[in-house]
Amino acid sequence: MPTPVYIAAGLKKSFSGNPFAQNYVLRGIDLTVQQGAVVGLLGQNGSGKSTLLKCSLGLLRPSAGQVTVLDEDGWDLSAEAKSRIGYVPQEVVSYPWMLARQVIEYTAAFYPRWNQPLVDELCRRWRLPLEERVAALSTGQLQTLGIVLALGHEPELLILDEPVASLDPVARRQFLRTLLEIVADRRRTVIFSTHITSDLERVATRVAMLRDGVIGLDGEMDELKDRVKRLHLAAAAPLPKDLAVPGALAVEIDGAEASITLANFDSSIVDQLRVAWNADVTVQDLNLEEMFIAVHEHCGGAAPSVANANNVKSAESDDSRNVPEIDCP
């Protein structure tokens, strides 16, 4: 039975000092990550990804709720817990006056377990100029240095805040390969934020989408792809504007045609729609990017009405698998 290495419970964060004008960046995050999981945190810019990760590591203090990391309070991590965590911030900051090699040696000196052969190998693979001053490194090289520093002590929990944002496609793929090697050891857990969905699709076993300070969509990657589908309807007659389908993430109607994104696809719904509207129905698989857009566009618009609900049978009724949480403000 895997144990949770990371638990966020009712986590809220506001940057306003005024208790009467709280502007929450995080509005109640509940997230439990089991050992061995690779969790991709998706969200638009400003959705609170970095804030969530910083709250998890004791860089920010939660306004409410709690984060438990490796069985310790995230705000007050012990030295021992910190030696088991690796973190790559969005913007890697280091000492401009040191050589890259000196920064590595300096950091290594703090960790009781430091895998220097691994670090040497990574530096070689990523062509990190070790005898160069940090000030003269390019953004990509600096990011690489940050990643090397976070991997050197072989952390059990690796937290990456948009680790590949400033890497070129080749370097990004190399990083992904390294990440895959790391997670081949099933005791390792990785939480990383990104908005490059194609990277997530390769490595992540689980996806959590952050929207407006809450987890909007959360589930195993494969499960999400299995169940979030888009139906394209081509009916004989114009469809009503307020056509509603239970569990729909997004409904777009254009005359006799419609596309409906379902959070919880079931083949029976296709038959029902086909019969009800005398329509051609095709099912489209959605990749992560399309899901991401669907989640955001649905929540941005008006809530779907419940009219015409009697035309279609409830989609969840005969589904025993657990339903992905859809939480829209």
Partner 1 sequence: MTPLAQRLHAVLSTYATRSRLVLGMIFVLLATIFLLINIPTSGVAEMILFPYLFYCLLWMSAWSNGISDQGRWQFAPARAAILPGYRAPHRMVLMGIYLIPVALVLVTSCMRGQSLPGAHTAVIAFLMTLTIAASTIPSGLILGTFFGYVAFSDYIGIDKIPQLLLDHPHEANVGGILVAIGCALIARRRIRTLSRLTEDDPEYVAPTWSEPGQAARTQQRGALQRTGETSTGPAACRQTIAAFDRWLNRARRWNRSRRILLPTIGEFAVLDAKTLALLMVVGLFLGPLGSFARSHDEPPPGIFPTLLEGVRGLAWFAALIAPPVTAIVAGNGLASRLKTMATERLLPLTRRTYVDSQLVAFAACAVGVWALLNAIAIGVGAFGPPEHGDSVFAASLVTYLGLSFACVIFNFGITAVLTVTSAEFAAIFLITGACGTADLVLLLLWLQGVPDFGWIPACIGALLAGGAGVLFIQHARVLWRERELG
Partner 2 sequence: MAASVRFQIHPSSGVPIYRQIIDQVHALVAGGKLRPGDLLPSVRTVARAADVNPMTVSKAYSQLESAGVVERVRGQGMRVLAPADRPAPKRRRAEFRDLLAAALHRGRQLGLDDDQIQAEVDDLLAAHDAATAEQTANR
Q: Please choose which of partner 2, partner 1, none residue 197 contacts, taking the beta carbon within 5 to 8 angstroms, the exact cut-off set by kind.
A: partner 2
Question: ∠ CA(204), CA(209), CA(215), 5° rounding?
Answer: 125
- 270 is an interface residue for partner 2 by CB under 8 A: yes
Taking CA atoms, 34 is separated from 86, 99, 223, in Å, by 17, 38, 17
- 98 is an interface residue for partner 1 by CB under 8 A: yes
Find the part of the chain contacting partner 2 (CB under 8 A) among 222-230, 251-259, 292-300, 321-329: 222-230
Q: Please choose which of partner 1, partner 2, none residue 227 contacts, taking the beta carbon within 5 to 8 angstroms, the exact cut-off set by kind.
A: none
- 221 is an interface residue for partner 2 by CB under 8 A: yes
Nearer CB in complex with partner 2: 133/225: 225
User: Per-residue x/- mask for partner 1, residues 124 to 163, rule CB under 8 A?
Assistant: --------xx-xxxxx--x---------------------
Nearer CB in complex with partner 1: 166/193: 166
- Of 71, 121, 222, 297, the residue at the interface with partner 2 (CB under 8 A) is 222
Kindly tell me the burial class for residue 42, based on how many C-beta atoms sit within 10 Å of its own C-beta (0-12, 13-18, 19 or more).
buried
User: Per-residue x/- mask for partner 1, residues 15 to 54, rule CB under 8 A?
Assistant: x----------------------------------xx--x
Can you tell me the distance from the alpha carbon of 279 to that of 112, in angstroms, rounded to the nearest whole number? 66
Sign of the C-alpha dihedral, residues 15, 146, 187, 225? positive
Binding-site size for partner 1 (CB under 8 A) equals 44
| Residue 215, both tokens | 């987890």
Question: 42: part of which helix (H) or strand (E)?
Answer: strand 38-43
- 45 is an interface residue for partner 2 by CB under 8 A: no
Residue 136 beta carbon to partner 1: minimum distance, rounded to whole angstroms: 5
| Residue 99, both tokens | 């050589």
Residue 251 beta carbon to partner 2: minimum distance, rounded to whole angstroms: 19
Q: Please choose which of partner 1, partner 2, none residue 54 contacts, taking the beta carbon within 5 to 8 angstroms, the exact cut-off set by kind.
A: partner 1
Nearer CB in complex with partner 1: 58/213: 58
Residue 194 beta carbon to partner 1: minimum distance, rounded to whole angstroms: 16
Q: Which own/partner contact pairs does 293-300 have at CB distance under 8 Å and 24+ positions apart?
A: 294/228, 294/230, 294/249, 294/250, 294/261, 295/209, 295/211, 295/216, 295/217, 295/249, 295/326, 296/44, 296/211, 297/250, 298/248, 298/249, 298/250, 298/261, 298/328, 299/211, 299/212, 299/216, 299/328, 299/329
Taking CA atoms, 286 is separated from 122, 208, 210, 290, 292, in Å, by 35, 16, 19, 6, 10
- Output the CA torsion 184→111→82→195 (10° steps): -50
Question: ∠ CA(111), CA(114), CA(118), 5° rounding?
Answer: 150
- Which among 79, 84, 106 has a CA at the least distance from the CA of 95? 106
- 282 is an interface residue for partner 2 by CB under 8 A: yes
Question: ∠ CA(322), CA(325), CA(329), 5° rounding?
Answer: 160
User: Per-residue x/- mask for partner 2, residues 157 to 196, rule CB under 8 A?
Assistant: ----------------x--xx--x--xx-x----------
Nearer CB in complex with partner 1: 60/250: 60
Tell me which residues touch partner 1 (CB under 8 A): 15, 50-51, 54, 57-61, 76, 78-80, 82-83, 85, 87, 89, 91-95, 97-99, 102, 105-112, 132-133, 135-139, 142, 166
Tell me which residues touch partner 2 (CB under 8 A): 38, 173, 176-177, 180, 183-184, 186, 197-198, 201-205, 221-222, 225-226, 229, 236, 267, 270-271, 274, 280-290
